[in-house]
Amino acid sequence: MTLVLNAQDVEPLCDMRALIEVIERGLREEARGRAVVPPRLNLPTAGGFFRVMPAVMNDSGLMGYKVFHGSMKAGVRYLIAVYAQEGERLLALMDAHYLTAARTGATTGIATKLLAKPGTKTVAVIG
């Protein structure tokens, strides 16, 4: 059975602490050379772009892709598909608008945790 989540389904299911933990595990998996993450495939369209970002996570047993397209006129639309390597089953299709922003925030949190001096209590955002 495939889970299909629309934009309204995704946001309330996201827990930032859990997202940070999962993304950190994925980054560590990639650092160990156990993830296959090829360069993005960027294709121009008549009015914008179409982009595909696949990944295979060998320790996690997952694989999938994020695909998105956009233009100045219509904005950007995102979709994530997640598959199990075992049995090659499609596990989920989900709108990735919120996840894209949440993933960026979670990755920034991980970087801050790993790069900040111990005891740091203040952060500045420039830009």
Q: Is residue 84 part of a domain?
A: yes
Domain of residue 103: give its range: 3-115
Residue 123 lies in a domain: no
Side chain identity at residue 55, one-letter code? A
The answer to whether 69 and 76 have CB atoms below 8 angstroms apart is: yes
Question: How many domains is the chain built from?
Answer: 1
Please state whether 105 falls in left (phi above 0), alpha (psi between -120 and 50) or beta.
alpha
The tens digit of pLDDT for each residue in 108-122 reads: 989 988 988 988 888
Residue entry with tokens 């990755």: 107
CATH of the domain at 15: 3.30.1780.10
Q: Give the long-range contacts of residues 108-114, CB within 8 A, separation 24 or more.
A: 109/16, 109/20, 110/20, 110/23, 110/24, 110/27
**pLDDT at residue 12 in the model:** 94
Which pLDDT tens digit goes with each residue over 76-103? 999 999 999 999 899 999 999 999 999 9
Q: What is the pTM of this model?
A: 0.85
Q: Is 95 part of any domain? A: yes
pLDDT (0 to 100) of residue 72: 86
Q: What is the per-residue pLDDT for 121?
A: 85
d(CA 127, CA 116): 19
What are the angstrom distances between the C-alpha of 31 and each of 27, 59, 86, 87?
6, 12, 23, 26
Residue with tokens 């199990």: 84
Q: Let me know if residue 126 belongs to a domain.
A: no
What would the pLDDT profile of 23-65 be if each residue is shown by its tens digit? 999 999 999 999 999 999 999 999 999 999 999 999 999 999 9
Residue 127 in any domain: the answer is no
127 has pLDDT over 80: no
